[in-house]
Amino acid sequence: MKSLLPALLVLLVAALATPATAQSYEDQMRQAASAYERKDMATAVRIWKVWAAKGEAEAQTLLGAMYWSGDGVPRNLNEAARLYLAAAKQGYARAQNNIGFMLGFGEGVPPRDDIEAYKWIKLAIDGYTAKNQDRLDQARKDLATLSARMNPAQIAEAERRVRAWKPVPKVR
């Protein structure tokens, strides 16, 4: 027993002295956001690509925004739309808003589709919280613009799709 105690102490000290190499999702998302703010786009893209590939909606949306704007990656509206749609299907309001905007205003996903755009923007409006007031206000304006150019049958179909919509699990 006496010889076991020093061995256990050595193992405990070694375990405590070894740095944790696996950061949590939240830690890595904060690291990527910080890198983005510092204009270290390579680090932000690297981290968000890993988590986007694992189906994390927030990472998909942030990476999609980089493809939409061309920050740190070549501008690719089709890739932005693909990432937004994957996150939107999970119920992530910002992605729903972004894919709705792209569909309704002809950004990278031809042809324009007012019914699907209305659905996604309406779902985003329903999903935004008070901390997203600016986005919520803009989404309401975008929905009003869409509604003004849609006929009653199109609006009814869009509302039916909103009611029928169910989130899907992460897509990996």
User: How far is it, in rounded angstroms, from Cα 121 to Cα 158?
Assistant: 10
The predicted structure's pLDDT at residue 109 = 74
* 172 band by pLDDT with thresholds 50, 70 and 90: low
* 35 has a pLDDT exceeding 80: yes
Query: pLDDT tens digit string along 84-102?
Result: 999 999 999 999 999 999 9
Asked if the bond preceding 19 is cis, omega within 30° of 0, the reply is no
For the segment 130-149, the average pLDDT, to the nearest whole number, is: 95
* 14 band by pLDDT with thresholds 50, 70 and 90: very low
* 23 band by pLDDT with thresholds 50, 70 and 90: confident
The predicted structure's pLDDT at residue 111 = 79
Query: pLDDT tens digit string along 52-87?
Result: 999 999 999 999 999 999 999 999 999 999 999 999
For the segment 10-34, the average pLDDT, to the nearest whole number, is: 67
The predicted structure's pLDDT at residue 13 = 39
For the segment 22-44, the average pLDDT, to the nearest whole number, is: 93
Q: Are 66 and 45 within 8 A, CB to CB?
A: yes
* 22 has a pLDDT exceeding 90: no
For the segment 21-25, the average pLDDT, to the nearest whole number, is: 77
